[in-house]
A and B are shown apart, each in its own frame.
Chain A
Amino acid sequence: MGMKDLRGRLTARATHDLRKRVTALEAEVQECRQLNLRLAELTDLVTDLLVPLARGDEAGTREALARYQESI
């Protein structure tokens, strides 16, 4: 095998490895992006329901939950 062939093979392998790493990185970036919606949902839940739930009166809790559930 000549030097040129060897270099070609090494470059091909490096490119292949880089492709794999880019694909994996893209998947990881996407995973991070998906946390935005989740965080927004949880923040919305807590902001809207914490106070009526913490007050502890049953009718108020039920009404707040029903109103929230219906508004989604």
Chain B
Amino acid sequence: MTRPPRRARVSSVSVTAEGIAARSRREVVLDVAFDGRRIYSFWLHRDGARQPSGTWLVPWPQAIRRFLDGTTRLTLTVHETGQVVHDADVTLGRGQGRIAVENKAGQPLSLDKSLRLVQTFDNRSEENVRPLLDAIDHVLAGLKDAGIDAFLAYGTLLGAVRNGRLIGHDSDADLGYVSRYEHPVDAIGESFRVQRALVAAGYRITRYSGLAFKVDVVESDGHVRGLDVFGGFMRDGYLHLMGEIRTPFRREWVTPLGRATLEGREFPVPADTDRFLTATYGKNWRVPDPAFHFPTPASTHRRFDGWFRGIRTGRPQWDRHYSKRRVPGDEPSELARFAAGREDPATPVVDLACGTGTDVLWFARQGTPATGVDFVRRGFEAAEELAESEGLAAGFLTCNFLELRSVVATGGLVGVDPGPRVVLARHLADNVDRRARRNAWRAARMMLQDGGRLYVEFLAQRGDGGLARRERARIRKPAMVARELRAAGARIVERETVKIPRAGRGGGSPTKICRMVATWE
């Protein structure tokens, strides 16, 4: 990995609507500040494109483009030496006022090393940092009770060891631990048990992979902070630490843990922090680099992907979708009406991938006991509250169709109540991959142990209506879905393809959905 030299000569700086351009023969990290406040950093050569004039143009990061409308005093500083290479007012867009990179509440934002908009520590006062330190203590204590000696890892460790401070351009805190086990299966099993112990102790956990999860800590002002806990293990003389490290290492360089001071408080750190940070950031870890990218070898990615990952495919888009509170609609789906028209209203309904829970509430309000199942809890939160306040026979369960144990436990929990059932899977098959579909049919089979029917609906032809976009659906071949259902032991008793009429005008290519009714009787 190349590092910026001690003395870089930066010249010909220009700021335009496209981005920031500058000339430097050598690679250099530059900090960009608006009105005296750091917004982001970049590597001139790595992140830029060479222009015919010999300068390097680094385009504005996507995340801040929407703010670039107005005037600001733009300061460009060589990160390592503090040398200011540009400091002048610039006007971008047509805006009249000052450029303000902040959230709706007026809190200043900047970009982290992955160029995401965050509240980084350099914007945060001491009273803002204290809750983070409390959160670290809280999670470390929870892990300790679960039998895990965790330590500061990644950027948090770097800040603590380098100068005892949180790194200004960082936005979160990372913890790590090295398992006493040496086989991936055992390390995953331990991670599951630790999660269970933390949940039992009242912590809220989101699992990233078989060996890493996030612990949510609710701070006094209601702000939810997620601390990442990266599991690791030793194997064949290598340290493996999610999600980036695989390097020759010795256990005694990790444990017994040492101590380091962070913002005036002591925290556990690996025994040999120099070796540990070298494994993470290379031998130049002492030189600050706010635009650092992990140069993880492809072989490490392959190993970690194969052993531990694949349980969150497609999830980020739904987390983003539900990051806004969404309320259930008033009208049920066509599939809900279709099923209700054929089934006894006393037969309980389960809606797989229930989203906001619209259909669940609709069934429950008519006296049909209904359960909604989805992998994003936030999606059905509002429906859950409504069901409770209206005293409805409606319940909701979180289930990740990419986690076998989640699927089997959910199928078992629903199936344990005897009697036939109606299971709906609307726009599930066209949203998830083959593995998740196989698990969804597995769950349906468990739920329909005592009879009943599964109603599946999915996009079969995209057409030029808005349905595919609205439902984020990809087309699926009916023959393929039928084959999968049969492979799961189902018998398909009905199958139809329905054209969706387009509002307002005729012609064009129609959107088509496929409906199937299956049974395990």
Contact = CB atoms under 8 A, between A and B. Distances in A.
B54 interface: no
A61 B413 CA distance: 9
Contact of B413 (A30, A38, A45, A65): A65
B77 interface: no
Interface in B194-221: 195-196, 199-200, 207, 210
A30 B188 contact: no
A38 B306 contact: no
A3 interface: no
A36 B413 contact: no
Given A29-B306, A33-B307, A69 B410 contact: yes
A49 B408 CA distance: 11
B65 interface: no
Interface string A34-72: 101111111111011100000000100110011011111
Interface stretch (B68-76, B397-405, B450-458): B397-405
B403 A69 contact: no
B84 interface: no
Nearest to A36: B184
B409 A36 contact: no
B268 interface: no
B272 to A, nearest CB: 29
Contacts of A47: 189
B416 interface: yes
Contacts of A70: 199
A68 B399 CA distance: 12
A62 B416 CA distance: 7
B409 A72 contact: yes
Contacts of B397: 69
Contacts of A58: 416
Given A29-B306, A68-B409, A41 B403 contact: yes
Nearest to B189: A40
B406 interface: yes
Given A33-B306, A34-B306, A37-B308, A42 B416 contact: no
B210 A72 contact: no
A39 B416 CA distance: 24
Contact of B405 (A34, A36, A44): A44
Contacts of B185: 36, 39-40, 43
B303 interface: yes
Contacts of B207: 72
A72 B306 contact: no
Nearest to A48: B196
- Range, interface on chain B: 35 or more
Main secondary structure of the interface of A (DSSP, over half): helix
Main secondary structure of the interface of B (DSSP, over half): helix
Nearest to A62: B416
Interface string A12-47: 000000000000001001101110111111111101
B412 interface: yes
Contacts of A39: 185
Contacts of B416: 58, 61-62, 65
Given A33-B307, A34-B310, A37-B307, A42 B405 contact: yes
Interface in B375-412: 397-400, 403-406, 408-410, 412
B413 A72 contact: no
A65 B196 CA distance: 13
Nearest to B303: A33
B413 A42 contact: no
B200 to A, nearest CB: 7
Contact of B192 (A26, A44, A62, A69): A44
Contacts of B403: 41, 72
A57 B30 CA distance: 66
Given A30-B302, A40-B192, A72 B307 contact: no
A11 B336 CA distance: 62
The 6 closest A-B pairs by CB, nearest first: A33-B306, A40-B188, A69-B409, A41-B405, A36-B184, A71-B196
29 contacts: A30-B302, A34-B307, A34-B310, A36-B185, A36-B306, A36-B308, A37-B311, A40-B184, A40-B210, A42-B404, A43-B189, A44-B189, A44-B192, A44-B193, A44-B405, A45-B408, A45-B409, A61-B416, A65-B409, A65-B413, A68-B405, A69-B399, A69-B406, A69-B410, A70-B199, A71-B196, A72-B400, A72-B403, A72-B405
Given A29-B306, A71-B196, 19 more contacts: A32-B306, A33-B306, A33-B307, A34-B307, A36-B184, A36-B307, A40-B188, A41-B188, A41-B403, A41-B404, A41-B405, A43-B185, A47-B189, A48-B196, A62-B413, A65-B416, A68-B409, A71-B200, A72-B406
Interface of A: 26, 29-30, 32-34, 36-45, 47-49, 58, 61-62, 65-66, 68-72
